[in-house]
């Protein structure tokens, strides 16, 4: 693998992956919440993975868009984990998963509003101050807007600009949202602060009705998403690229085929062999 | 500072995902809201079903669904780590006396048993003591695997297939649950009260010879040699099972 193409590290295939040679990513990504404070068998697996691959972290529970107060203790736990495993990229979702002091464990859409921007920027800065590194924020899939007063790209751009955070460009999410909300995916991409992209995600999804796609991470990446990824790589500098697969895990060779296809695309756009992670 | 209206919209959507009380949201696609509730519930239910497979299969589908819906509606999950959320479910069932409501007196033991297996499997590593291989069981301090719990149940959910018959077996049941160092596997050992006494005193640093003498009096056995023989067999068994790991240095 010439370029930085990684795979989401899942317990479902951890052992097979670490003991075999069918899947050869340049790095792995994991959710710190799934590993913090864990000992025994899974700690051994994590240590084994960390010896073999560089790690990036993609969080689930920061809930940066929550109306609630930021969970500072949790951010400190994440910081410790990042330090323990020398992790240089910590990304999270531009969404909320906690409200009224109750965790929901899934990603809800934030109102695209000025006051939400100010609120989130303040929280991102707070997180960055604790972590002493930029937070990387992902554009999320959403199935309904919520009390929106501006366009999604305006919302994302303002947050990135005002907070100084980096952008995780999830290409599949752009595709899903463009379909769900009837906009042009390429125009949307061009309107994002692409110079701040530090990381890319790509994944499969499921169309559940004529007008709705759900971002499941349970299927192979489809051709139009690969094509959108191809287009995106022509607009941005080389960054690590991550394939997400959370459900319906196929043979690892199939995942490797997807990594190879991503690698082939970036090889034509990002010529030099470079260690980005 | 978030405006009241922004906060309210976020709260209404989150509350809908937890309770199913459908809100009217500003500029929303109402027809798609149910996907959020479905997705949130899938994660919560999958997590609970994975943590509590025996309880899940024992309860009727209706009882399980009602219980999980009630839990997620009424309880505000506190943990940032979804795999720890089942502990909150167990605590919720205790607090709300679900065992009594479902007429399943053994439910609390069953849930705790299932949670314990998960907890011991995943709990943070604990430093092992320095040990030596050679020593006297009776006169040297015995070293044990520190990753364990001693548990008491009223129902034998740890040894018996869970059927409605289990209700007639109310009593005092003790067992040891621990994690093997090399494999990380969780092991269970059924214990009598005498053996709980022995383990607790080993943990407290007492010599086995003294523990045997105390047990001889406490349990009215009055035959210290027979007691010694039984306890030494028990100790050897725990050594084989990798719970006893040698002698303290």
Say yes or no to pLDDT of B27 above 80. Answer: yes
Nearest to B6 among A33, A104, A111 (CB): A111
Contact A144 B30 (CB under 8 A): yes
Query: Which residue, among B96, B99, B105, has the nearest Cα to B171 in the 3D structure?
Result: B105
Q: Which of residues 83-122 of A touch B (CB under 8 A)?
A: 96, 98-106, 108-111, 113, 115-116, 118-119
pLDDT score recorded for residue A96:
98
Among positive and negative, which fits the CA dihedral A23, A29, A31, A36?
positive
The answer to whether A11 contacts chain B (CB < 8 Å) is: no
Q: Which of residues 161-220 of A touch B (CB under 8 A)?
A: 208, 212, 214
Dump pLDDT digits (tens) for A43-58: 999 999 999 999 999 9
Please check whether residue A235 is in contact with residue A190, taking contact to mean a CB–CB distance below 8 angstroms: yes
Contact A106 B147 (CB under 8 A): no
Of A266-270, B79-83, B161-165, B239-243, the poorest mean pLDDT is in B161-165
Contact A60 B82 (CB under 8 A): yes
Dump pLDDT digits (tens) for A105-146: 999 999 999 999 999 999 999 999 999 999 999 999 999 999
Identify the three-state secondary structure at position B131.
strand
Q: How many CB atoms lie within 10 A of CB A252?
A: 17
Residue A248: which region, alpha, beta or left (left: phi > 0; alpha: psi -120 to 50)? left
ipTM above 0.85, yes or no: yes
Please check whether residue B85 is in contact with residue B47, taking contact to mean a CB–CB distance below 8 angstroms: yes
The answer to whether A146 contacts chain B (CB < 8 Å) is: yes
Chain A residues close to B78, C-beta within 8 Å = 101, 103
Q: Where are the alpha helices (DSSP H) in B2-161?
A: 4-19, 33-51, 53-58, 61-74, 85-95, 98-101, 107-122
Please check whether residue A154 is in contact with residue A111, taking contact to mean a CB–CB distance below 8 angstroms: no
Q: List the domain boundaries for chain B.
A: 1-104, 126-249
The answer to whether A72 contacts chain B (CB < 8 Å) is: no
pLDDT score recorded for residue B162:
76
Question: Number of A:B CB contacts under 8 A?
Answer: 145
Dump pLDDT digits (tens) for B142-158: 999 999 999 999 999 98
Pick the CATH number of B1-104 from 1.10.150, 1.20.120, 1.20.5, 3.10.110: 1.10.150
pLDDT score recorded for residue B165:
85
Written as one string, the DSSP assignment of chain A is: --S-EEEE--GGGHHHHHH-SS---SEEEE-GGGTTT--HHHHHHHHHHHHHS-EEEE-SS--TT-SSPP-HHHHHHHHHHHHHTT---EEEESSEEEETTEEEEEEEPPP--HHHHHHHHHHHHHHHHHHTS--EEEPPP-SS--S--S-HHHHHHHHHHHH--EEEEEHHHHHHHHHHHT--HHHHHHHS-GGGEEEEEEE--EEEETTEEE--S-SPPPHHHHHHHHHHHTTS----EEEE--SS---HHHHHHHHHHHHHHHHHHS-S-----
Element (H, E) at B235: helix B224-240
Say yes or no to pLDDT of A242 above 90. Answer: yes
| B30 — pLDDT class (breaks 50, 70, 90) | very high
Contact A103 B79 (CB under 8 A): yes
> What domains appear along chain A, each with residue ranges and CATH number?
5-269 (3.20.20.150)
Distance to chain A for B45, nearest Cα, Å:
11
The answer regarding whether domain B126-249 maps to CATH 3.40.50.720 reads no
The answer to whether B127 contacts chain A (CB < 8 Å) is: no
| A272 — pLDDT class (breaks 50, 70, 90) | low
Residue B211: alpha-carbon gap to chain centroid: 28
Q: Is A72 exposed, middle or buried (0-12, 13-18, 19+ CB in 10 A)?
A: exposed
Contact B39 A33 (CB under 8 A): no
Residue A196: alpha-carbon gap to chain centroid: 14
Record the tokens describing residue A55, joined without a space.
């790690």
pLDDT score recorded for residue A277:
45
Chain A residues close to B82, C-beta within 8 Å = 33, 60-61, 103, 105
């Amino acid at each position: 693998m010439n370029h930085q193409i990684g795979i989401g590290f899942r317990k479902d295939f951890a052992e097979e992956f670490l003991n075999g040679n069918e899947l050869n990513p340049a790095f792995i990504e994991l959710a710190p919440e799934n590993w913090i404070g864990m000992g025994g068998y899974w700690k051994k697996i994590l240590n084994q993975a960390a010896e073999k691959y560089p790690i990036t972290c993609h969080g689930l529970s920061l809930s940066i868009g929550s109306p609630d107060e930021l969970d500072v203790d949790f951010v400190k736990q994440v910081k410790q984990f990042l330090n323990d495993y020398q992790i240089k990229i910590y990304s999270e979702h531009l969404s909320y998963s906690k409200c009224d002091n109750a965790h929901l464990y899934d990603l809800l859409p934030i109102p695209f509003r000025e006051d939400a921007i100010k609120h989130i920027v303040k929280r991102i800065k707070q997180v960055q101050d604790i972590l002493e590194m930029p937070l990387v924020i992902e554009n999320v899939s959403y199935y309904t807007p919520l009390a929106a007063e501006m366009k999604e790209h305006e919302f994302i751009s303002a947050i990135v600009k005002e907070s100084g955070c980096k952008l995780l460009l999830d290409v599949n999410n752009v595709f899903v949202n463009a379909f769900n909300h009837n906009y042009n995916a390429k125009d949307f991409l061009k309107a994002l602060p692409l110079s701040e992209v530090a990381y890319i995600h790509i994944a499969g999804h499921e169309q559940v009705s004529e007008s709705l796609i759900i971002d499941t991470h349970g299927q192979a990446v489809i051709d139009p998403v690969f094509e959108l990824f191809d287009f995106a790589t022509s607009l941005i500098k080389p960054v690590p690229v991550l394939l997400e697969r959370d459900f319906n895990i196929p043979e690892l060779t199939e995942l490797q085929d997807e990594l190879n296809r991503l690698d082939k695309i970036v090889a034509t756009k990002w010529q030099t062999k470079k260690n980005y992670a | 500072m978030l405006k009241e209206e922004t906060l309210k919209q976020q709260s209404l959507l989150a509350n809908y995902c937890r309770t199913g009380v459908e809100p009217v949201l500003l500029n929303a696609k109402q027809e798609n809201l149910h996907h959020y509730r479905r997705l949130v519930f899938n994660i919560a239910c999958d997590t609970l079903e994975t943590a509590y497979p025996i309880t899940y299969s024992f309860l009727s589908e209706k009882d399980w669904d009602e219980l999980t819906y009630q839990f997620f509606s009424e309880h505000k999950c506190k943990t940032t780590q979804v795999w720890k959320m089942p502990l909150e479910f167990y605590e919720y069932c205790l607090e709300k006396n679900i065992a009594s409501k479902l007429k399943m007196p053994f439910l609390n033991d069953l849930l705790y048993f299932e949670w314990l297996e998960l907890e011991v499997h995943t709990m943070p590593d604990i430093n092992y003591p320095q040990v030596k291989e050679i020593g006297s069981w009776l006169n040297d301090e015995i070293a044990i695997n520190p990753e364990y719990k001693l548990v008491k149940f009223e129902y034998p959910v740890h040894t018996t297939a869970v059927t409605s018959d289990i209700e007639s077996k109310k009593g005092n049941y003790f067992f040891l649950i621990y994690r093997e160092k090399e494999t990380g596997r969780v092991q269970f050992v059924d214990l009598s009260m005498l053996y709980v006494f022995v383990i607790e005193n080993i943990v407290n640093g007492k010599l086995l010879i003294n523990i045997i003498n105390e047990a001889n009096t406490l349990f009215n056995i009055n035959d210290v040699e027979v007691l010694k023989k039984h306890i030494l067999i028990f100790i050897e068994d725990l050594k084989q099972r990798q719970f006893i790991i040698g002698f303290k240095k």
